[in-house]
Structure 1
Amino acid sequence: MATPVLTPERLAASYSYTAYRHLIDELQAEGKTTGPQQSELLTNYTRLNVQRMSRIDKTIQLLPELRAAVAALPRRYAWLIITEGWCGDAAQIVPTLEAVAQASGGHITTHYVLRDENLDLIDQYLTNGGRSIPKLVVLDAETLTEAASWGPRPEPAQHMFLELKSQNLPFEEFSTQLHAWYAKDKTQSTQQEILQLVQGLA
């Protein structure tokens, strides 16, 4: 028997998407962000991320084949999404994951947890030894065992990230290039990879 990733009680204590967004807005009003580290820089990143999430929430158009795939899932899944408000990649990806779940007709529920409050969870899903987010862990809704995982970013963005990192660019330049890629991609790469993940579940 596979071991559950977390207890039902812990899953129940997670945030809904609405509650996650509300938490970020409340912290922003106090000049703060999520997580133990607080700085003006992180608060400014979070402000930008709120704008990014709101824009994607309003404009996202799901691929018809992705809509069909999630609506046809043979069983129910709980999507555990490990994130933080200051994370730029999360701002680009989390609204897409939420839109996919909303299109599933109840086959998928989403559950958001903050990385730095759940280090034992993220440490099960390290990327090249690092606690990169966002991370999607697909759980069987009945057993809470892992069915799949994905993240922290679609492959073309991950490739670009590693390439830019190797060039030792200043963070601002690095970040600008990465977010320009996300803007041009319009969530298509994320949707294609989530489609492959969902098709793997069927």
Structure 2
Amino acid sequence: MDVTTKISLTQALSNAISYHQYLNLVKIMAIEGKSTGNDTSEAYVNYTKLNAKRMQRWDKTLRFDDEVINKIKSVYVKVNWLVLTESWCGDASPALPVMNKISELNPNITLKVVIRDEHPELMRHFLTNGAMSIPKLIQLEPETQRVLGTWGPRSTKATHLVDAFKKEHGALTAEFRESLQIWYNKDKGQSILQDLLNLLSLE
């Protein structure tokens, strides 16, 4: 890891908040008609309002089967999960609740959240195909902050859907984004879960 990455990680970790603090922030933003990040347009405010509702719903309905729960509880190596995101990010609304549920099942997995636009230097070290795509999860070794892996901004299955649509249409539309949220709901977080289990080297 180069020096600038390590400095950026250290700064981000010092400013990081818990998932529940982040969820509360999104709720407050929604009530006040605001959004996190540099773009505070009406569209982003509306996305923030949607995400506040979506994350609360995911927290209530998300279920893991016994086999998955046992796998998560069997992780004996401590890791830190640092996630870059924004209140308006549609892909974050199902992903962060899955991450949180995993971390709640095993104290060896610590989840922290930072706002992307407050940490542009860190984001530049973890681009996806050259873009500042979120959510972006960085898995770290707690003592050294060594990067053990990354995930995001979408599950492998969701990424295939997005890539296929872009190949055919050139860019994502509002209609596609809505259909992706419907797909997330039908998937019940399972594709995100499987990717994160792989990140933890469980499978």
Does the TM-score normalized on the shorter chain lie above 0.5?
yes
Cα deviation, 1:142-192, whole Å, max 9, x if unaligned, reads 111111111111111111112222314672211122112111111011111
Counterpart among 20, 23, 26 of residue 22 in structure 2: 20
Other-structure match for 1:80: 82
The amino acid across from 2:145 in the alignment is: L
Other-structure match for 1:123: 124
Cα deviation, 1:111-165, whole Å, max 9, x if unaligned, reads 1001111111111111111111111111111111111111111111111112222
Runs of 4+ in 1 over 6 A off after TM superposition: none
Cα deviation, 1:61-120, whole Å, max 9, x if unaligned, reads 12433322332223211100111110000111111001111111x101111001111111
Cα deviation, 1:11-60, whole Å, max 9, x if unaligned, reads 13211111111111222222101111111111111111111111110011
Distance 1:10 1:198 in 2: 22
Counterpart among 29, 32, 39 of residue 31 in structure 2: 29
Other-structure match for 1:175: 177
Q: Does 1:49 align with 2:60?
A: no
Distance 1:157 1:195 in 2: 16
Please state whether the residue corresponding to 2:114 is helix, strand or coil: strand
Please state whether the residue corresponding to 2:60 is helix, strand or coil: helix
Distance 1:18 1:153 in 2: 21
Identity of aligned residues (%): 38
Of residues 85-94 and 161-170 in structure 1, the stretch that sits farther from structure 2 once superposed is 161-170
Other-structure match for 1:108: 109
Taking only aligned residues, the RMSD between alpha carbons, in angstroms, comes to 2.0
Of residues 10-19 and 167-176 in structure 1, the stretch that sits farther from structure 2 once superposed is 167-176
Distance 2:27 2:193 in 1: 26
> Would you say how many aligned residue pairs link Structure 1 and Structure 2?
199
Distance 2:153 2:37 in 1: 18
The amino acid across from 2:131 in the alignment is: G
The amino acid across from 1:194 in the alignment is: L
Distance 2:34 2:77 in 1: 39
Distance 1:180 1:168 in 2: 21
Please state whether the residue corresponding to 2:91 is helix, strand or coil: helix
User: Taking structure 2 as the reference length, what is the TM-score of the superposition?
Assistant: 0.90
Over 3 Å counting, the alpha-carbon distance change for 1:68 and 1:12 in structure 2 is: farther
Gaps of 5+ in 1: none
The amino acid across from 2:149 in the alignment is: A
Please state whether the residue corresponding to 2:26 is helix, strand or coil: helix
- Asked if the contact 1:69–1:199 (Cα under 8 Å) also holds between the matched residues in 2, the reply is no
